[in-house]
Amino acid sequence: GGGYPDRLASRLRQGGLPVGHTNLGQSGARIRDVVNHALKRVVALQPTLITLGVGTNDLWRGTEVAEFQDDLDRIARRLKQTGASMVVVNLADMALAPVAKLVPSALYEGRIEPFNDAIATVARSHGLHLVDLFTASREMIPRRPDFFCGDGFHPSAAGYDEWADLMLPVVRTLIQR
């Protein structure tokens, strides 16, 4: 169903806001993929608003936090030059994901918070609008057993709906400026 970007755009349109959108998200992408493959495409689109949700695949695949933060900083610096408003979302508490029971806890234990700290640091230093998916996920996931799809890793349609709803107030405010 397109993940959170398509749902977010749909909600904005339902609210009477004329928005177009391009979703450059790619399942399995890591932050280095954004730097190497999506960054130039985003800049070429000349957007007025950019949302960025990246890091979960980096978390699970062992990307070092410092490397992640350096790449996120590079992305923020480059995209800031577009003049677009930027919204970044931090990582959900993936320790609550069903897949977490099936993999070594070293993949996520003690790593989620440092990734989120890196996201917060970059957001502060570049004036990005940070949406706190981590805190919200700790409330959402226990009450929404359908938050994840069958793979136990990716959000389900219901999970992406929750994610879009969480981002909507921030994005709506930025678009209505």
Task: Tell me whether residue 28 is in a domain.
Answer: no
- pLDDT grade, residue 176 (50/70/90)? confident
Burial 47-85 (b: 16+ CB within 10 A, else e): bebbbbbbbbbbbbeebebeebbebbeebbeebeebebb
> Could you tell me which residues come within 8 angstroms of residue 90 by beta carbon, excluding any fewer than 6 positions away?
55, 115, 116, 119, 120, 130, 131, 132, 133, 134
What DSSP designation does 103 have? Answer: S
Task: Tell me whether residue 146 is in a domain.
Answer: yes
Over residues 68-111, the pLDDT tens digits come to 999 999 999 999 999 999 999 999 999 999 999 998 888 889 99
pLDDT at position 107, please? 83
Task: Tell me the residue range of the domain where 103 lies.
Answer: 4-22+67-176
CA–centroid distance for 140 within its chain: 16
Task: Tell me whether residue 85 is in a domain.
Answer: yes
Task: Tell me whether residue 39 is in a domain.
Answer: no
Name the domain count of the chain: 1
Task: Tell me whether residue 163 is in a domain.
Answer: yes
Instruction: Look up tokens 């062992």; give the residue.
Output: 62
Task: Tell me whether residue 74 is in a domain.
Answer: yes
For residue 172, what is the domain's CATH number? 3.40.50.1110
pLDDT at position 18, please? 86
pLDDT at position 1, please? 65
Give the pTM.
Answer: 0.95
Of all residues in the chain, what percent carry a pLDDT higher than 70? 99
